[in-house]
Structure 1
Amino acid sequence: MAVRGFLCQNIAIGCAFGGFGVAAGEIKSQFDVSTGMASMGLAFAVLMMGLVSPIFARMIGSVGLRRTMLTGIVLSGLGYVVLAFAPSIYVVLAAYGLFVGVGIAMFGSFPCSVLASNWFQPNPGAALGFVNMPVMVALVPMMGIFLIERYGLSTFYLVMAGLHILLLPFALGVADRPEGAARAGDDAQGSTAHAMISSRAILGRPIFWIVVLGAGGLSAAGIIGVSHLVSFAIEKHIPPAQAAFLLSVMGAAAALGSLLVGVLCGKIGAVNTLALMGAALAGSWFVLLGTSLYPLMICATLIIGACGAGIFPAVNVLGARVFGVDALARVLGLFTLYTLPMNFLLPPAAGVLRDATASYEPVVGVLIAGSGAIAAMFVLLGRVMARQDAVREKVAV
């Protein structure tokens, strides 16, 4: 089940996020649009992911992970077929939003993390890290550069559609949880009918909104990095091939970072891990802003990639601890929904700010300040939670 989740998550995230980073420049030139408009494709995908995730949290409970994920694979694959033959930028944006974005919500990180959490209790941290290792984010950019330069953007999109077809046999074997762990009322498909904590109860907890603001901000910073790293590096006079390689470096680091973060969550706690990631992101972007030395840029990109991939696993661990494993699907669905304003607006806003100032320096400055502030917020949250735990222990004694 971990391998199936790993493959599904990688095709979903690798094709969308890794592929968009190398396709954005070609989209901009092919349809003669601005940087901000070209970067809207991934933003629309993220928008739809957030809007529909609560719906699919309920769908997972009613029809099971297998049917939900198979439907998402087919829908996302069709999206890349539409992208291959899109006649205008508006069709591109619609395909990313209505097909790719909705498809990712059904078979990407969210359902795959629920799968891992169900199968690897009581400590799912390492499994969540493995399932969310975005190996394809490292491989797709290099594949994309090769295919786009030699065969064009349409061929690149058709190849990604083909990867979805190859994924279908693996997704057919998905089951929600071990057979012996099935609850009363579960059907043969492994779908669940048990009641979860209400959305109102989740939204009424201040910690939920702190996580939305903090982890959502770090997630948006990661999307900005994926969308603009290549263009940022080229602006610093890095050759295009080396700039694209930085995106692959980010993806490779993400693969290891996700696993590392899962382990760290089990050692120091999810809140402290999120604080550490915020501080590391701020420092790494500071290095990128201040140097054009390629080896240093590679080192900073490694850290950014490792941290960005660990955000969702850390949120998984924290959500399960605060709200319980049974409520995790609903918590993740609501988290994805309420982080939409940041994930949808900030990446294209970064492109608009870059166009307005003719430089990426203000964009990176905002990333540094924001990541540092989020790190401080999670440090404070960690102290509050530690005090609450201490009080509960005293009461229990």
Structure 2
Amino acid sequence: MYKGWWIVVTHFVVMFFAVGFYQYSLPLLFPAVIEHFETDAATLNMLLTVHVAVGLLVGPLAGPWVDGWSAKGLLAIGVASFAIGVAILGLAPDVWLFVVGGGLALGVAGTLCGPMTGSAVVSRFFTASRGRALGIASIGTSAGGFVLPPLVTASAASIGWQPTVWVVAGAMVAIVLPLVLFRFWNTPEDAGTEIERAPAGVGGVVDDHAAMSTREILTHRAFWLFTIPLALFISVYTSTLFNLGLHFTDRGLEAGQIAAMMSLAAASGVAGKLGFGEVADRVPLKLAFIAAIAATAGALVLLLVEPGVGVLYGTMALLGVSTGGLLPVWNALVPRLFGLANFGRAMGWMGPVIALTTMSVYPAVGLVRDATGSYAAVFQGDLVALALAVALVIPLQEGRA
């Protein structure tokens, strides 16, 4: 087997646990956490704020290290940080240690376990099938989101939410960390193999970009035309997913129904990742990005009209397909705009823009819900943000930065 596929497998497993728990499963525990600490949604949403604030600092620092030091070393640090952060959530004696301590460690993990490290290395091993490889690797988020929510929900009902998160922390140490240490390499040369070559007659991704300075990246028009819409989109879909557990609880749905809907969104993300991953090798990527934004807007409209349970399942499927398509498109577009030599640096500086955007969104979402008793006004604001994202991304020109 080509060793590049071990990179894909490792990236898959890291995302399975990191995103499958933090994004899809942890929100299902929030009603129990609110009751345990006698707190509110606005306070718990500060966990997200701390998380992205840390990313604001870590991304620009770690980005050049991905290009010049060791993506493997950074990924190992990220996995360890995730295990520590999840353990803190279960050990915290009060809500502020839960929010601040957990947010700090998980913020480091969120940056180092994400596409800045894993997708950078996948892109180094693959050329003609880069989009496909990135799509398969990113399925880890959907697989984790499908498998973990019902397991976490059942475990919390059986042994409590705190022992449940300790089990997740243990799995990161026992399963994920060894895979990173022994089946993940920085380059094809480190793995004793060569970069995937395009078959005769098949055009691969030509990378003729020279190394760019931070100034050159930040002053390039393409950086802002892509990063600002990306930040708006990520703010909308992450805040939506993070609060759907409370939204559906407010609507009177049972825990089992909510877990099933979250799992459906994750499973539908598999179709989005595979589909958009194949598209990433064939069509202008900004069109795929706009399609994902439009599908997310459609899901928000359905959430606004508060349909019956049956339609909600369809809404979650649509949301899963649209958000699932983001990762392969994002990860394929960065090297197309800036080149493999600048992947980590460009991704690292996208982080602060995304962080500054999301930091203002997450607390506001909780405050609006607590003040109005619903998320209707939040969904309306999300639609405006997505319309702005489309308007900004339309002028983006793909190709050499």
Moved more, 253-262 or 5-14: 253-262
2:282 aligns to what SS in structure 1? helix
Superposition RMSD in Å: 2.1
Moved more, 172-181 or 111-120: 172-181
Alpha-carbon distance in structure 2 between the residues aligned to 1:171 and 1:347: 31
| Higher RCO (C-alpha under 8 Å, 6+ residues apart) | 2
Alpha-carbon distance in structure 1 between the residues aligned to 2:367 and 2:138: 31
For residue 37 of structure 2, the aligned residue among 31, 37, 44 is: 31
Alpha-carbon distance in structure 2 between the residues aligned to 1:147 and 1:328: 39
For residue 395 of structure 2, the aligned residue among 369, 381, 395 is: 381
**Richer in helix (by share):** 1
Question: Which amino acid is the alignment partner of residue 168 of structure 1?
Answer: L
Where do 1:219-238 residues align within 5 Å?
219-238=234-253
Q: Does 2:357 correspond to 1:348?
A: no
Q: Does 2:342 correspond to 1:333?
A: no
1:204 CA drift (Å) = 0.4
2:122 aligns to what SS in structure 1? helix
Structure 1 pair 253–366 and aligned structure 2 pair: CA distance change class (3 A): same
Moved more, 296-305 or 261-270: 261-270
Q: Does 2:383 correspond to 1:368?
A: yes
Give per-residue Cα distances to partners, 1:230-260, cap 9 Å, x unaligned: 2222223322321232122122222332222
2:281 aligns to what SS in structure 1? helix
Given that residues 9 and 112 in structure 1 are in contact (C-alpha distance below 8 angstroms), is that contact kept between their aligned partners in structure 2? no
Question: Which amino acid is the alignment partner of residue 149 of structure 2?
Answer: P
Alpha-carbon distance in structure 1 between the residues aligned to 2:49 and 2:29: 14
1:122 CA drift (Å) = 4.5
Paired position in structure 1 for 2:313? 298
Alpha-carbon distance in structure 2 between the residues aligned to 1:219 and 1:51: 18
Question: Which amino acid is the alignment partner of residue 133 of structure 2?
Answer: A
Paired position in structure 1 for 2:127? 121
Given that residues 21 and 247 in structure 1 are in contact (C-alpha distance below 8 angstroms), is that contact kept between their aligned partners in structure 2? no
Paired position in structure 1 for 2:115? 109
Alpha-carbon distance in structure 1 between the residues aligned to 2:266 and 2:129: 26
Paired position in structure 1 for 2:202? none
1:2 CA drift (Å) = 0.9
1:286 CA drift (Å) = 0.6
Paired position in structure 2 for 1:163? 171
Paired position in structure 2 for 1:56? 62
Give per-residue Cα distances to partners, 1:341-375, cap 9 Å, x unaligned: 22222122111111122221111111223223323
Paired position in structure 1 for 2:51? 45
Structure 1 pair 255–43 and aligned structure 2 pair: CA distance change class (3 A): farther
Paired position in structure 1 for 2:23? 17
Identity %: 21
Q: Does 2:7 correspond to 1:7?
A: no
Given that residues 72 and 117 in structure 2 are in contact (C-alpha distance below 8 angstroms), is that contact kept between their aligned partners in structure 1? no
Give per-residue Cα distances to partners, 1:270-308, cap 9 Å, x unaligned: 101111111111111111211331221111111112222
Question: Which amino acid is the alignment partner of residue 329 of structure 2?
Answer: A
Q: Does 2:218 correspond to 1:203?
A: yes
Instruction: In structure 1, list runs of 5 or more residues that go unmatched.
Output: 183-193, 390-397
Given that residues 262 and 313 in structure 1 are in contact (C-alpha distance below 8 angstroms), is that contact kept between their aligned partners in structure 2? yes
Given that residues 80 and 95 in structure 1 are in contact (C-alpha distance below 8 angstroms), is that contact kept between their aligned partners in structure 2? no
Q: Does 2:132 correspond to 1:132?
A: no
Paired position in structure 2 for 1:188? none
Given that residues 50 and 99 in structure 2 are in contact (C-alpha distance below 8 angstroms), is that contact kept between their aligned partners in structure 1? yes
Alpha-carbon distance in structure 1 between the residues aligned to 2:327 and 2:223: 14
Structure 1 pair 171–152 and aligned structure 2 pair: CA distance change class (3 A): same
Paired position in structure 1 for 2:231? 216
Structure 1 pair 56–153 and aligned structure 2 pair: CA distance change class (3 A): same
Question: Which amino acid is the alignment partner of residue 149 of structure 1?
Answer: A
Given that residues 67 and 341 in structure 2 are in contact (C-alpha distance below 8 angstroms), is that contact kept between their aligned partners in structure 1? no
Give per-residue Cα distances to partners, 1:144-198, cap 9 Å, x unaligned: 211111111111111111120111221112111212559xxxxxxxxxxx98311
Structure 1 pair 255–343 and aligned structure 2 pair: CA distance change class (3 A): farther
Q: TM-score, normalised by structure 1?
A: 0.88
Q: Does 2:159 correspond to 1:145?
A: no
Give per-residue Cα distances to partners, 1:113-153, cap 9 Å, x unaligned: 11111111245111111111111122222112111111111
Instruction: In structure 2, list runs of 5 or more residues that go unmatched.
Output: 1-6, 196-208
Give per-residue Cα distances to partners, 1:74-97, cap 9 Å, x unaligned: 221122222211101111112322
Structure 1 pair 57–309 and aligned structure 2 pair: CA distance change class (3 A): same
Q: What is the total number of aligned residue pairs between the two structures?
A: 374
